[in-house]
Amino acid sequence: MAEYKYNKNVWNKYLQNRNILDDFADKYKTFLNNSKTERLAASEIEKALIKDGFKKISDVKLINVGDKLYAVNKNKNVIAFIIGKKMFNNLRILCSHIDSPRLDLKQNPIYEDGDVVLLDTHYYGGVKKYQWTAIPLALVGVVCKKNGEVVNINIGLDKKDPIFGVNDLLIHLSSTQMEKPLSKAIDGEKLDITFASIPLSNEKDSAIEKHVIKILEEKYGISKEDFTSAEIEAVPAFEARDFGIDRSMIASYGHDDRCCAFSSLEAFLNISAPLEDTLCAIFVDKEEIGSEGATSAQSYFVENTICRLIDLYLKKNKQQGDIFYNLRICLENSIMLSSDVTAADDPLFKEVSSKNNMARLGYGPCFNKYTGHKGKFGANDANPEYIAFLRNKLDKKDIYYQSNELGCVDIGGGGTIAYIFANYNMNVIDAGIPVFNMHAPMEVISKADLYETYLLYRTFLLD
Ligand code: MN
Ligand code: MN
């Protein structure tokens, strides 16, 4: 009988060959540094898919077993398929999200106040506002001009670039601020970015702002009004680094959820077709603000894309059939891992830990049967029959894993995309990597968990 791999420290498995974990982590760090926004992540994912032989769905006329296909939705959301012999009877789906909390520039961001120009922001996702002051930030995104031109903005990631940041009050004058609760200490409207300080010579009014506008015109060909049709994100400027004296961990911005996106992507590459079941990987946007909108998990993009494929399949076989009926049955028969992070049990904050039910750092991918809050509200409560089916797969492959929940009952909660796909009546469970400091500008994960999660996703797809 295979040894039971549940609730064991993964490092014990790699004592002789930890280089596997370090190499995988190095590749991941590169991915992270190139994927600071959902757009950049989508672009990195597309590049990797093309390199692995994937073709754009819009370019194919017919569909065959073994085809590797993908589509990108509005530059922020990717779906990929490896067509199996059973075509669209059922899918094995990995779904992760590629957006992360950050500060977004408002549509009229530039203003001069005091002796500087600032950029007005609106934070995106659940952030502890005080964590975003006095840290190096980069500005990354696009400015879309009326003539159709898209100007890529990427300032602060290259070491030669300037960086930006949000001021915090000096401790010397903070006696009133220090009395406030953490949630009130930094006001959302005060999360503005200091941008420039040199006035344009011979100008009396708004001289610094005029200088900024001149720089933007000359360097980027954009006007103040062009920010109306822009998406620019202020993200932590520091690179992903090894963390800990034993280099066992990785510190970075955006582990949630790019660690699961990366391990899903890696699991999806280098697969030699044909297989029985059709495989699917989905990378969604907007998870951190409730999965609403065109590029989110709730978008019809996934359904529409599968409809397109079913249509191609029916055409090839000169079959008449109801595309929507086929779509519904296909999704109902599908299985999914909602690949998202969970909270790692933190010894400094034991008061929020659910005893014996916390994800442990280094103990492998964690299944969350449910997330939600206060009485499981909003949760996808995964079916035990499905969990047993997955446990059996993992134990056969000696993959370490754990099964826990986010934290103490009634103390908070969280959500993922699991419930959205479960509404198709498919079996879905959250399965991902434990994280320290989730949603902070610097999050921490274990290299062992990253690699073991990749193995979990690979087995889910192939075995
Ligand atoms: Mn997440
Ligand atoms: Mn999150």
Q: Are residues 278 and 334 in the same domain?
A: yes
Please name which of 165, 151, 157 lies closest in space to residue 196, comparing C-alpha atoms.
165
Alpha carbon of 37 to ligand 1 centroid (Å): 14
* Alpha-helical segments (H) within 174-300: 175-179, 182-185, 207-220, 255-268
Q: What distance in angstroms lies between residue 416's CA and the mean position of ligand 1's atoms?
A: 6
- 166-176, pLDDT tens digit by residue? 999 999 999 99
Q: Are 67 and 73 within 8 A, CB to CB?
A: no
Poorest-pLDDT segment among 112-126, 186-200, 212-226, 351-365: 351-365
431 and 285 assigned to the same domain: yes
φ/ψ of residue 146, rounded to 5: -60, -30
Question: Would residue 107 count as lying in a domain?
Answer: yes
In a domain, 242, yes or no: no
Neighbouring-strand partners of residue 124: 102
What span, in angstroms and rounded, lies between the C-alpha atoms of 258 and 28?
9
Indicate whether 114 pLDDT > 70: yes
In a domain, 245, yes or no: no
Please tell me whether residues 61 and 115 are part of one structural domain.
no
Cα separation of 55 and 80, whole Å? 9
The alpha carbon of 96 and the centre of ligand 1 are apart by a number of angstroms equal to 8
Is 248 contained in some domain? no
Q: Choose the final residue of a domain: 186, 208, 236.
A: 236
pLDDT, mean over the chain: 96
Q: Which amino acid appears at position 140 of this protein?
A: V
Closest ligand to Cα 440: 2
What residues have CB less than 8 Å from 183, skipping those under 6 apart? 129
387 CA to middle of ligand 1, Å? 21
**Do 143 and 225 reside in the same domain of the chain?**
yes
Q: Are residues 52 and 139 in the same domain?
A: no
**Claim to verify: residue 197 and residue 288 sit in the same structural domain:** no
Which ligand minimizes its atom distance to the CA of 98?
1
Q: How far is CA 120 from the centre of its chain?
A: 25
Q: Are residues 293 and 357 in the same domain?
A: yes
Q: Give the span between the Cα atoms of 17 and 147, in whole angstroms.
A: 55
| Distance (Å) of CA 356 to CA 127, 344, 350, 404 | 27, 12, 12, 8
In a domain, 4, yes or no: no
Number of domains in the chain: 2
**Is 56 a domain residue?**
yes
Indicate whether 355 and 457 sit together in one domain: yes
Q: How far is C-alpha 367 from the geometric centre of its chain's CA atoms?
A: 18
Calculate how far, in angstroms, residue 306's C-alpha sits from the geometric centre of ligand 2: 27
> Where does residue 168 fall: left (phi above 0), alpha (psi -120 to 50 degrees), or beta otherwise?
beta
Ligand 2 centroid vs 257 CA: distance in angstroms?
7
Co-location of 271 and 329 in the same domain: yes
Same domain for 179 and 298, yes or no, is no
For residue 319, what pLDDT is reported?
85
pLDDT for residue 134 is more than 80: yes
pLDDT, tens only, 198-243: 999 999 999 999 999 999 999 999 999 999 999 999 999 999 999 9
Q: Do 325 and 448 fall within a single domain?
A: yes
Q: How far apart are CA 273 and CA 37, in angstroms?
A: 32
pLDDT of residue 390: 97
- The pLDDT value given to residue 352: 93
d(CA 78, CA 283): 5
The pLDDT tens digits for 359-404 are 999 999 999 999 888 888 888 899 999 999 999 999 999 999 999 9
Q: What's the CATH code of the domain at 24?
A: 3.40.630.10
Is 439 within the bounds of a domain? yes
Domain range spanning residue 126? 102-236
- Give the distance (Å) from ligand 2 centre to CA of residue 256: 6
Is the pLDDT reported for residue 2 higher than 80?
Answer: no
Q: Mean pLDDT over residues 47-74, rounded?
A: 97
Tokens of 200: 């344009």
Mean pLDDT of the 244-250 span = 98
Residue 215, pLDDT score:
97
CATH number for the domain harbouring residue 206: 2.30.250.10
Q: Give the Cα separation of 166 and 226 in Å (integer).
A: 23
Same domain, 458 and 321: yes
For range 337-349, the mean pLDDT: 97
Q: Percent of the chain, pLDDT > 90?
A: 91
| Last residue of one domain, picked from the residues 192, 211, 236 | 236
139 has a pLDDT exceeding 90: yes
Q: Measure Cα distances from 223 to 63, 144, 434 in Å.
A: 46, 11, 43
Is 302 a domain residue?
yes
Residue ending a domain, among 236, 266, 282, is: 236
Half-sphere exposure of 255 (CA within 13 A, CB side): 29
